[in-house]
Every structure is written in C-alpha cells, then in structure tokens.
C-alpha cells in the first residue's frame, strides 16, 4: 500500500508538472508574438526593469552608508560578526523595497544591531518590519523617550493627552509593536512607587490603596522591545514631563525625580528632588 500510494502521488506530480510546462509554453509563444508585433513593448519592459534595478541598488547604497555611520557611533564589541545568510536573505528582500529616509535609517540600525549582537533580531521582527512605513517608524521614535522600564517597557498616558497618544498606539498595535492603550497598575510599597526612565527615576507618593492604582498606558510587544533597543536615545530627558503626567492623578500626593543606582535587587533612587515645572 505505501509503495502504491507513493507511486500514485509521484504520477500526479509528473502530470501537474507537464501541465504547467504546457501552459508556460503557450504563454511564452503568445508573448513572443505580441512582442514581435509591438517592438516598443520590449523597450518599455526593459526600461522598467532597469529602473527597478537602479532603484534597488540606490537603496542598498543608502543603507550601506547609514550602517557605517551607525557603527561609527560606538566601538564594536569583540563578539561582533557578519550576519548569517539566514538573516541576510529576508533582510535584503525588505531593504531593497524601502524608500523613505526613516525606513532607510531603521534598516541600517537593525543590520548594525545584528552585527554588534548576532541573533538579536528574530525572524518574527523582520517579518513585522516588512509592513512598516514612515508613519510607524516616526510613532515608534516618538514613544521611545517616554518609556518606563519594568517587566516590559511601557508608557503612561496622562488624562490630558489621551487623544494624542491613543491613535499612535493604535498605529503601533497594527504593526505588532505595542498594545493599544489600556489599564495598567502602579503598585505601591509603603505609600511610594519608583518608576525607572533610563538613568533617572520618577518617585511617586501615593494615597493608601489595596496594592496599587490604575492608570492608562500601553506596553511594547517583544517585537517592539527588540526594535526600540536600536533607536537612538533622546538627547533631552523626558523624566520631568513624565512626572507631570502622573501628577494629574488625584491619588498622587507627591512627585520627585532622582538618580538610579543599580543594586542586587534591581535599583534604588538617590538624590531625589521634588518636581519643578520646566517651561
């Protein structure tokens, strides 16, 4: 029975292949006749093909130049190496189709990141990048300086700016980078909560609760967390603006900003100062 089934399957494959060849032969013959009747058709086809090749080559060169700039931003680690072929094949397929400066910069940073730390970009992330456009990249870059570190990086959405941030997270959610805005809990310990933003922390004094307070926010997906690590850090800290957003809640008694000090348990906050409005 197995031999008979395999033989039947092989015969069906042969029949299908023969049918395909017949169809292709008919199409080729017809195309030849059309081209002979209209020589300009060939010229237009070749011109279009050459234009596509030139565009793809131009994009490759733009990305290559940006990669050199990104790699020059810091020294290469000892374990840096050329990306594997399994990474480069899907990367090149995506890279040659991008056009905007934002996408060129992102692709350069992705490849530079893979060179610095091999295996840091998953195939799932590359697949997600294939549907990005300049609006998605711009939204991701805009969110980046407001992210709070935790089990997953997330952003608090203050009540006064919900109409601004919710559409952005809806866009990022459509690209598998972040969740849509929703409820998150600020857990308090002894009436306080410390939220880390890079090398700084926002310290919240909170009213007594049953373990924490609910706020509006959104978090990055694993794909978003991979990508965000390659984007440049904003030169100006947003800790003060983030703190002002938390102060809009009536359960927040006080707000301070301090310096993060690493320790075995995670981090502590030193040199905390009360929030001062900045113009």
User: Distance between the two ends of the chain, CA-based, in angstroms?
Assistant: 82
Is the pLDDT at 70 greater than 60? The verdict is yes
pLDDT in tens, 87-129: 888 888 888 888 788 888 898 888 888 888 888 888 899 999 9
Cα angle 145, 120, 64; round to 5: 80
Q: Mean pLDDT, the chain, as a whole number?
A: 81
DSSP state of 197: E
Q: Are 225 and 153 in contact (CB under 8 A)?
A: yes
Q: Which two tokens stand for residue 202?
A: 């926002």
pLDDT band at 85 (very low <50, low <70, confident <90, very high): confident
CA distances from 259 to 198, 242, 252, 269, 272 (A): 10, 15, 20, 5, 7
pLDDT band at 49 (very low <50, low <70, confident <90, very high): very low
What CA–CA distance (Å, rounded) separates 145 from 58?
32
List the beta bridge partners of residue 212: 187
- The model carries a pTM of 0.73
pLDDT band at 34 (very low <50, low <70, confident <90, very high): low
Most confident residue range from 48-52, 236-240, 251-255, 275-279:
251-255
What CA–CA distance (Å, rounded) separates 20 from 153?
52
Instruction: Report the run of H or E that residue 254 belongs to, with start and end.
Output: strand 252-263
Is the pLDDT at 51 greater than 50? The verdict is no
Q: Which two tokens stand for residue 196?
A: 């880390």
pLDDT at 229: 84
Give the neighbor-by-neighbor strand order of the sheet with 252-263: 192-197, 200-206, 252-263, 266-274
What CA–CA distance (Å, rounded) separates 118 from 116?
6
* Average pLDDT score over residue span 57-74: 78
């Amino acid at each position: 029975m197995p031999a008979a089934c395999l033989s039947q399957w092989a015969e069906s494959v042969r029949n299908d292949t023969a049918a395909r060849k017949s169809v292709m032969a008919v199409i080729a013959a017809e195309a030849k006749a059309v081209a002979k009747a209209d020589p300009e058709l060939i010229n237009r086809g070749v011109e279009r093909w050459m234009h596509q090749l030139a565009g793809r080559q131009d994009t490759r060169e733009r990305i290559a130049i940006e990669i050199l700039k990104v790699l020059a931003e810091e020294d290469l680690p000892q374990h840096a190496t050329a990306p594997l072929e399994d990474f480069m094949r899907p990367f090149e397929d995506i890279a040659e189709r991008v056009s905007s400066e934002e996408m060129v910069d992102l692709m350069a940073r992705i490849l530079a990141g893979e060179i610095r730390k091999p295996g840091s970009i998953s195939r799932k992330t590359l697949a997600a990048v294939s549907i990005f456009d300049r609006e998605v990249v711009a939204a991701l870059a805009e969110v980046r300086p407001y992210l709070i570190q935790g089990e997953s990086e997330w952003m608090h959405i203050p009540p006064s700016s919900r109409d601004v941030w919710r559409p952005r997270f809806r866009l990022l959610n459509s690209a598998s980078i972040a969740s849509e805005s929703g409820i998150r809990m600020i857990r308090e310990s002894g009436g306080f909560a410390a939220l880390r933003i890079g090398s700084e922390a926002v310290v919240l004094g909170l009213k007594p609760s049953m373990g924490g307070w609910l706020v509006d926010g959104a978090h990055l997906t694993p794909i978003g967390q991979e990508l965000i690590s390659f984007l440049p850090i904003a030169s100006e800290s947003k800790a003060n603006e983030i703190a002002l957003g938390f102060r809009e809640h009536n359960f927040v008694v006080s707000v301070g900003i301090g310096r993060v000090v690493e320790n075995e348990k995670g981090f502590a906050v030193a040199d905390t100062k009360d929030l001062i409005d900045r113009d």
